[in-house]
Amino acid sequence: MMDQDPFSLAGKRILVTGASSGIGRQVALSCADMGAQLIITGRDPQRLQATADELPGSGHLAVIADLAQPVDLARLVEQTGVINGLVHAAGISRLVPFRMISQAHLSEMFEHNTYAPMMLTKELLGKKRVVAGGSIVFISALASHSGAQATAAYAASKSALLGAMRSLAIEVAKHGIRANCIAPGYVRTPMLNGLSQGGAQMERLIEQTPLGLGDPQDIAYAAAFHLADASRWITGNYFILDGGLSTSMDIYA
């Protein structure tokens, strides 16, 4: 009798935040396609339902929630139940030059990109929702290392996930749980389109990427690997997926 495929997600329950759009949406679809049962969450009811309608398999759950709101976060934790994996894909981005940064802008970036995933993880672990052998995946960003014009607050909020994840990885290892970050480069998503329309010189950056612009599927496959048993000996890791863009930048995690 053959052992179960270590790359399979069959029999696993996975929570994906930010599942109504972009990378989060594709992570949810790919995980379901690989056999997982999904709990998906997002702020937009219509878009979240559209993702839910496309999920293959059965037994999935969609929970509308704004993770920056404590009441919504608590309700999500209560409805989630026991899970094998968690992917924090929810996040926001705004182009604001450093000289124009305000306290409100910093608070907005950190509230959504740093505090929300940290507090959700804390609550799930506190209520023992993540089983032994489980996996926690934070979607960070290449900007956290490379820097890009007018992204100081965004980059800082994503950089903060790296430190948080590495401390978390040490703390949960005794429970057989692992924690990792995935740092995407430039990927075809609504967020990237928004940055382009906001004045970012995306064409130049894409031209500097040896393999060109990425697709959400590329990040989804990496997330699925970190959720699967195949990655059982990987924790505290910062995994950059950027089509080779950072190779010439001499970036080290």
SS (H, E, C) the chain: CCCCCCCCCCCCEEEEECCCCHHHHHHHHHHHHCCCEEEEEECCHHHHHHHHHHCCCCCCEEEECCCCCHHHHHHHHHHHCCEEEEEECCCCCCCCCHHHCCHHHHHHHHHHHHHHHHHHHHHHHHCCCEEEEEEEEEECCCHHHHCCCCCHHHHHHHHHHHHHHHHHHHHHHHHCCEEEEEEECCECCHHHHHHHHCCCCHHHHHHCCCCCCECHHHHHHHHHHHHCHHHCCCCCCEEEECCCHHHHHCCCC
Task: Give the closest residue to 213 by CA, choosing from 191, 189, 194.
Answer: 189
Report CA 90 to chain centroid distance, whole Å: 6
CA trace torsion 180, 131, 20, 145 (10° rounding): -10
As annotated, the active-site residues are 154
